[in-house]
Amino acid sequence: MAAPVYADHAADTPIRPAAVSALAGALDVVGNPSSAHGTGQSARRLVEEARESIAAAIGTVPGDVVLTSGGTEADNLAVKGIVWAARGTRPVHVVTTAVEHVAVLEPLRWLAERGEVELDLVMPSRDGRVEVDAVLDLVRDETVLVSVMAANNVTGAVNDVPALGAALADHGAALHVDAVQAMHLGLDVAAWGADAIALSAHKFGGPVGVGLATLRRGVPVTPLLHGGGQDRGVRSGTLSASLAVALAAAVEAAVADRAAEAARLRELTDRVRAGAAELEGVELLGPADPAWRLPGHVALALRGVHADALVFALDRAGVHASVGPACSSGANAGNPVLEAMGVDADAGLRLSLGWTSTVADAERISDVLTDVVPILRAAGGGFVTA
């Protein structure tokens, strides 16, 4: 049987060769980067060179780059850290969106439950995008934090972050942008006007377990981790030279072929979308204008077919796709992003392609969907009836 088609790059994309070499080449580096002796300082140099190269690639300065264990930690650090630094006697006002990743929504909901945050949620449009004006309508003079993702992990909808950053430039609120899915876009922290962003290496060809937050100096942040005071006291814990150089290699590789990859992926997903559009009862989700859609994402809803059953059937037929975020699948947590868009939350399917995807993959996905969907529908769509 042919090897399965991996169509879940939004959950985790294979590590790039450049990142493998960088990681392997630095795994045996000796020395704690915080030690004063020469061995430690050699390790430190690797970390700082990695930080410099990352900062240059994403439009920020090295001193604003804080290394983390991934996107979840980077999101938590920014949202909790900024809220706690602003804490006074009254709850802190925060604006975010109903379609954020749980790494943003859950810490904010937790803070709201504790009475520390007054939270306003912006609803998306039917295509999953968040309108800048809808965000600004909820921002008040005393708003401390606005958190809006650059691109949505379920629908691939891209938000106009530069316009939001420009609109908030003279406002005291800090702008946090979850950019975990956004490496396929031109990522430029300064041009976006973002005070904080979150990135995760395993979403763009680096290893799992490393990511970064950019935190603009001047925006007060209370650390989540207390200890040795590494990374300007914001994120304690021994710095990993090997993960830092692997992260930098993945960033460089992703930025170097971004334009070519985006065009290539767009062609592949156009094929998948065209194939899917032929299916009965299908709705292609996400913005119709490709300029506002991640190039590797296809999101669709199939009337009368349960997404969990479809993902299972696709898996058996050799196509590995998902209903949405990997963290909630298997837990029957529903699909809050689709719900917020007013789409049947049981019907959504996400196919996400990436740097290893080929034309043959795109064709196989279309063929398998064409085979599987009518069979599933004829069998009741995979819905469990009492």
Kindly list the catalytic residues: 327
CA dihedral 332, 337, 343, 345 (to 10 degrees): 0
Let me know: does 73 contact 243? Beta carbons within 8 Å: no
Query: Among residue numbers 309 through 338, which ones bind ligand PLP (CB under 6 A)?
Result: 325
Nearer to ligand PLP, 180 or 221 (CB): 180
Query: Among residue numbers 241 through 280, which ones bind ligand PLP (CB under 6 A)?
Result: none
Cα separations in angstroms, 243 against 14, 41, 386: 16, 16, 50
Nearer to ligand PLP, 178 or 195 (CB): 178
The two structure tokens encoding residue 306:
């349960």
In the stretch 71-110, what mask flags binding to ligand PLP with x, by CB under 6 A?
Answer: xx--x-------------------------x-x-------
Nearer to ligand PLP, 14 or 40 (CB): 14
Candidates 76, 155, 181, 240; binder of ligand PLP (CB under 6 A) is 181
Cα separations in angstroms, 287 against 121, 169, 298, 315: 21, 27, 11, 27
Shortest Å distance, C-beta 17 to ligand PLP: 21
Residue 211, interface with ligand PLP (CB under 6 A)?
Answer: yes
Question: Residues with Cβ < 8 Å from 183, sequence gap 6 or more?
Answer: 199, 203, 204, 251, 254, 255, 258
- Cα(192)–Cα(189) distance, integer angstroms: 5
Our measurement of the distance from residue 222's CA atom to the centroid of its chain's CA atoms, rounded to an integer in Å, reads 23
- Cα(257)–Cα(379) distance, integer angstroms: 44
Shortest Å distance, C-beta 79 to ligand PLP: 11
Shortest Å distance, C-beta 203 to ligand PLP: 7
Number of H helices, E strands in the chain: 12, 12
Let me know: does 55 contact 62? Beta carbons within 8 Å: yes
Nearer to ligand PLP, 182 or 369 (CB): 182
Cα separations in angstroms, 189 against 135, 303, 359: 19, 40, 33
Shortest Å distance, C-beta 196 to ligand PLP: 13
- Cα(79)–Cα(111) distance, integer angstroms: 10
In the stretch 117-156, what mask flags binding to ligand PLP with x, by CB under 6 A?
Answer: --------------------------------x---x---
| H or E segment to which residue 223 belongs | none
- Cα(329)–Cα(322) distance, integer angstroms: 8
Residue 180, interface with ligand PLP (CB under 6 A)?
Answer: yes
Residue 178, interface with ligand PLP (CB under 6 A)?
Answer: yes
Residue 348, interface with ligand PLP (CB under 6 A)?
Answer: no
Nearer to ligand PLP, 72 or 155 (CB): 72
Residue 366, interface with ligand PLP (CB under 6 A)?
Answer: no
Nearer to ligand PLP, 10 or 376 (CB): 10
Residue 287, interface with ligand PLP (CB under 6 A)?
Answer: no
Query: Among residue numbers 20 through 59, which ones bind ligand PLP (CB under 6 A)?
Result: none
Choose one: 33-41, 159-167, 176-184, 228-236; the region binding ligand PLP (CB under 6 A).
Answer: 176-184
Shortest Å distance, C-beta 180 to ligand PLP: 4
Nearest position to ligand PLP, beta carbon: 71
The two structure tokens encoding residue 357:
């995807």
**Which residues make beta-bridge pairs with 375?**
none
Footprint of ligand PLP (CB under 6 A):
70-72, 75, 101, 103, 149, 153, 178, 180-181, 200, 211, 325
